[in-house]
Chains A and B, each alone.
Chain A
Amino acid sequence: QKEVEQDPGPLSVPEGAIVSLNCTYSNSAFQYFMWYRQYSRKGPELLMYTYSSGNKEDGRFTAQVDKSSKYISLFIRDSQPSDSATYLCAMSAEGNSGTYKYIFGTGTRLKVLA
C-alpha cells in the first residue's frame, strides 16, 4: 500500500464549478499537509500549507485535513480555466536527526472548461 493515495484524474469541470480534490494517507505520523499546483512543464508551486486537522481558506481555495480519517481535501470555488493544472498533495513528518520526510501524491490532473 502506498503511503499516499491520490486519484490521478483527469477531472474535467465547467468554468465556475466547485472542484474537490482528495488524498488519503496511511502514516499517522504526518503532521504537515500541503497542496501544490503544477502547470504543464513547470515545477510545483505551493498553494496551501496546513498543520494538523481543520480547515484553512485562502481566496477561492480551502484546504481541509481530517487526521482521524487520514484524509485531506482541496476545494476550489468558482473554478477558472487558469486553474487547469495538476494538483499534488504532500505531507511531512519529522524523521531522524530532525529532518522532515516529505511524501507526495501522484497528482490529479484538472481541466476547467471555458
Chain B
Amino acid sequence: NAGVTQTPKFQVLKTGQSMTLQCAQDMNHEYMSWYRQDPGMGLRLIHYSVGAGITDQGEVPNGYNVSRSTTEDFPLRLLSAAPSQTSVYFCASKVAGAGEQFFGPGTRLTVL
C-alpha cells in the first residue's frame, strides 16, 4: 500500500512551458485534491475531485487544469508556467465526507 504518490519530486521550468504533475493513490479514495504551499500562505486548494469524471475549482485555480478519468489518478496540468507558480505542490486524498486527508510527498516546482 503506497498511499499517495507524486511525480516528479523536483522540476524546473521556463516561463511559458507546460507540464503535468502526476498524482496517484491506491486507497480507493473518492476525494482527491491539489494544494500549493507557499511561505506564510499555508496550504491553498487549487482543484479537487469528488470522484472519477467530476472536478471543481478551489481557492486558486487560475493557470491550472485537472481531469479525473480514474479513481486512482488525478494529474495537475500547468498550461503556461509563470514565476508566480513557483511553489511546492501537494496532492491529497480521502474518503467521501469528513475525514483525514492523506498527503503525498510533494513536488517542488521552480519557474524561471
A interface residues, Cβ below 8 angstroms from B? 4, 6, 8, 31-32, 34, 36, 41-46, 49, 51, 88, 90, 92, 94, 97-100, 102, 104-107
B interface residues, Cβ below 8 angstroms from A? 4, 31, 35, 40-43, 45, 48, 50, 56, 90, 96-106, 108
Bound-complex Cα distance A107 to B101 (A): 17
29 A-B residue contacts at CB 8 Å?
A4-B42, A6-B42, A8-B40, A32-B98, A34-B100, A36-B103, A41-B106, A42-B105, A43-B90, A43-B103, A44-B43, A44-B90, A44-B103, A45-B103, A46-B100, A46-B101, A49-B100, A51-B98, A88-B42, A92-B98, A94-B98, A98-B96, A99-B48, A99-B56, A100-B97, A100-B98, A102-B45, A104-B42, A106-B40
Bound-complex Cα distance A109 to B14 (A): 32
Give the A-B contact count at a CB cut-off of 8 A: 51
Contact of A43 among B96, B98, B99, B106 (CB under 8 A): B106
Q: A43-B103, A43-B104 are in contact. Are A104 and B43 (CB under 8 A)?
A: yes
Q: Is the CB of A107 within 8 A of B100?
A: no
Secondary structure call for the B interface: strand
> Which chain A positions have C-beta within 8 A of B99?
49
Q: A46-B100, A100-B97 are in contact. Are A105 and B42 (CB under 8 A)?
A: yes
Q: A43-B105, A44-B90 are in contact. Are A31 and B98 (CB under 8 A)?
A: yes
> Which chain B positions have C-beta within 8 A of A51?
98
Bound-complex Cα distance A102 to B101 (A): 9
